[in-house]
Amino acid sequence: MRTVTRKSRLAVWKFASCDGCQLTLLDCEDDLLALAATVEIAYFPEAGPMNSGHYDVSLVEGSISTPAALEHIRAIRRRSTHLVAIGACATAGGIQALRNFADAAEFAAAVYPQPEYLRTLATSTPIAEHVPVDFELRGCPIDKQALLEVLAALQAGRQPVLPHHSVCIECKARSSACVMVSRGSACLGPVTQAGCGALCPAYGRGCYGCYGPQEAPNPAALSARLGALGVGAQTMRRLYRTFTAEAAAFRAESERHGA
């Protein structure tokens, strides 16, 4: 029988991101008491308490986009037993990874009056590109039930029960009409990993690919069909370069449709 010896120490870290994923933790309203009974939230600037030391679980939000972040993520890895990357930024570079396809210095010069004060990297990259990651929780933002499932699984020492297959399987399970087949809309569902409950197609929109590529993505075959439906090269490129542009399969496919 399982006995709880002590609460797990949980830390929540932020890199280049919008905060939406870490706020998902605070959004777990009905489960916050259960969470507090199981874990000690030892570091969570967004919520208040701050402690130092070693952490059983570090939830890491955001992408690596500065030299300081590069150092920081290595320190976090050393201080964490389990490191879980949460959200599209931490797992695929996020929207800010669009800089990877352009000149970051040029962007900086256009935005800031004195860009020489900025210390920024030329790219925005996922956490796993810099340190070993124990689990990647996808989404933009992540789903709170999925976050609780990851924490419960870590607590129990089991694999999280989360899908790696396409969004289509969730879309069909909720009996939504396929927007691609019934309306000719562009949809990334067939190449995107499930986890959102096929939210956008349920509201008549094509999938934006927030959860990044599914386990066996075939974007070239999808693009061929989208092309036949009238999607041009520029739109195609943008489709694959929204929330998870740095994910390998989407990046490669976007590059097939121009720079």
Partner 1 sequence: MQAYPGLYPVAPPQSAGPEPLMTSALAPPQVLTHAGFDALLAELKRSGHRLLGPIVRDDVVVYDDIESTADLPRGWTDVQDGGHYRLQRRGDDALFGYAVSAQSWKPFLHPPGQRLWSARMRGDAVQIQPEPPPSERMAFVGARACELHAIALMDRALLGTGPGDPYYRARRAQVFIIAVNCSVAGGTCFCDSMHAGPQVTAGFDLALTELSDQSPPVFLVHSGTTAGSAVLAAVPSAPANAAQIAAEQTILAHTRASMGRKISSTNLHDLLLGNLQHPSWTEVGERCLACGNCTMVCPTCMCTSVADVSDLSGERISRSRRWDSCYTSEFSYLHGGSVRHSTAARYRQWLTHKLATWHDQYGSSGCVGCGRCITWCPVGIDLTEQVRAIAAPPAG
CA 177 → CA 31, 69, 210, distances in Å? Answer: 33, 43, 20
Rg of the Cα atoms in the chain = 19
Tokens of 5: 């010896």
Whether 219 and 186 have beta carbons less than 8 Å apart is answered as no
CB of 76 to partner 1, least distance (A): 23
Q: Where does this chain bind partner 1 (CB under 8 A)?
A: 1-2, 4, 31, 34-35, 37-38, 148-149, 151-153, 155-156, 158, 161, 164-166, 168-169, 172-178, 180-183, 187, 189-191, 204, 214-216, 218, 221-222, 224-225
Closest to partner 1 by CB, 134 or 149:
149
Which residue matches tokens 């899908």? Answer: 163
Q: What DSSP state is assigned to residue 241?
A: S
Decide: helix, strand or coil at residue 81: strand
Decide: helix, strand or coil at residue 8: strand
CB of 252 to partner 1, least distance (A): 15
Tokens of 231: 């999607």
CB of 151 to partner 1, least distance (A): 6
Closest to partner 1 by CB, 94 or 212:
212
CB of 219 to partner 1, least distance (A): 9
Cis peptide before 115 (omega within 30 of 0): no
**Which helix (DSSP H) or strand (DSSP E) does residue 37 occupy?**
helix 32-38
Closest to partner 1 by CB, 97 or 222:
222
CB of 226 to partner 1, least distance (A): 9
d(CA 91, CA 113): 31
d(CA 213, CA 228): 22
Whether 205 and 241 have beta carbons less than 8 Å apart is answered as no
Closest to partner 1 by CB, 69 or 222:
222
CB of 144 to partner 1, least distance (A): 12
Closest to partner 1 by CB, 52 or 175:
175
